[in-house]
Structure 1
Amino acid sequence: MSIHPFPNCGHAAAAAQQLASEGYVRLHGAVPASRIAAIAADLALRFDATPFCSGGFYGERTKRFGRLLIRSPHIADLVLHPGILALAESALGSWCDRIQLNLTQAIELHPGALAQFPHRDQDMWQGSLGEVEYLLNVMWPLTPFTEENGATLIWPASHGVEALVEVPREQPIVAAAEPGDAIVFLGSTLHGAGANRSAGLRRGIIVSYCLGWLKPYENQWLAYPPDVARHFPPELAALAGYAQHRPNLGNFEGQCPSVLFGGYPDEPLAATDALRPDQDVLLGEFVSGQRAAGDGATRS
């Protein structure tokens, strides 16, 4: 499906609809190819220096590295892409107060790389299956993705309750794409890298978002400690974990962890509620009831 969804609300709705029904959508021309070329140039030396992975799942003819927000200033444009964030909110927002960044990872398949074991990324978490969506993945090609060089394989309609089916009902599709395109798929969608039968490299970036109350794949606070994340735009810092997930999850001394952007405090901090609106209402009623009861006892 060829969609350019972002200037046009109708196209955005069509992208969200296909993601919900098929478990994936390819977005053609989601960002200018020149932006991807700049990222590819920024990451080139790191690709060269990174050793091959160890283990059959990651791929012994594959290179991977993370922490991309500190490796190219243009990665933030991908992470904060408004159309992608809208898809992530649409897919995940029913199950969390806020989404968070799960990882940014660069991947390079070398000639001779075997096809990856088909898998669902939601299996990182042993939660309820078939009911909740935990994750949204976005693959950004740095080089053309073709069947010959190991383009991502996706099993359509293998998501949601179909993740409970042992054998997928559909055959996989080859997610061929060009730099500037985005391949978006759910964490419950069966997928895997193809085999690189070409003579060239296949490079890409995976950016993923997950429910804000999950432990993410990449430890964001270690990848981007406060002295790094304090230079991020506020919305990017929040995605990278420097925001509380109401009620009170991910706090530092009872406050938003972004308080560390000013350095570790010399004086003790006051723990401060960070509650959902519905919890605020219930708490207010509870406290008012106690105060009313106390006033009545005093008057009697």
Structure 2
Amino acid sequence: MNILGIDIGGTSIKADVYDEDGTALGHFSEQSTKICHENQTNEILEQICDLIASYQSSLDLDGVAISTAGVVDSQSGKIVYAGYTIPSYSGTDFSSEIQKRFSIPVTVENDVNCALLGEMWKGAARNSHSTVMITVGTGIGGGIFTNEQILSGHNFTAGEIGYLPIGNADWQSLASASALVQMYEEATGLHHQTGKTFFEAVDKSDPVALKVLETYVHHLAQGLVTLSYVLNPEKMILGGGIFARSDVLLPLLQNELYHAVQDQRFLPREIVTATLGNEAGRLGAVAKFLMDQGKNLS
């Protein structure tokens, strides 16, 4: 089979063709996502259709598997809600338009859910039966796998964990990568800081950076404890660029969690970092496609 796996983000659209074993067949492409914030418009649906046509000109495609930002009705293939990062995205109907134009099967799923499926198929969560994935970036997203399926919720919003209330704020305003950088800038008076410059200061044992790190880890752990109490997953996977510094973050998080819970049985058996990087979404989209086709994943 030739399955076109597509990952749609607010910055770029990445695609490659995979076989049913999840092997990339060497047709990777990447393009910028066409969004106009000034006019509150996007051209994503047309971009995806042009992309499919381009691949079809040289390959026989058996299906299209889409991973995308936003709240996705995975049964109908529509975007039912999207935040300000992709204007006018709500209501986009990938499934109907692609089937009308190309007459091939298509699946559409939320990007964090796809990343989780990818990690369960080929990455850090193989052989796990109960897994929660948390991605930490400009916001915080989540995916939940239990009872052999992704938990979607009746309005497909299960896993929107960035909105968890922590005190008087939501979790992502305290514990996203953006929140970390903002906290560091406020503490130092510096401008134009990044995660990289922050961790460089941590590596130099800068006292202000170390204090910010302590506060940040506490905020991050508060949400993880809540998820552990509610879901008690076998495995918890942490993803996002910030966990490139898992050498710093994981030991601190594990220590914070150890002291935050009533008993260790409330915690996951394992807390690990994601292993597939940017390919996780595409692989997970392909996994979703194969599962919907009744295939057993190897």
TM-score range, shorter chain: under 0.3
Structure exhibiting the larger radius of gyration computed from Cα positions: 1
Structure with more strand by fraction: 2
Output the TM-score relative to the length of structure 2: 0.23
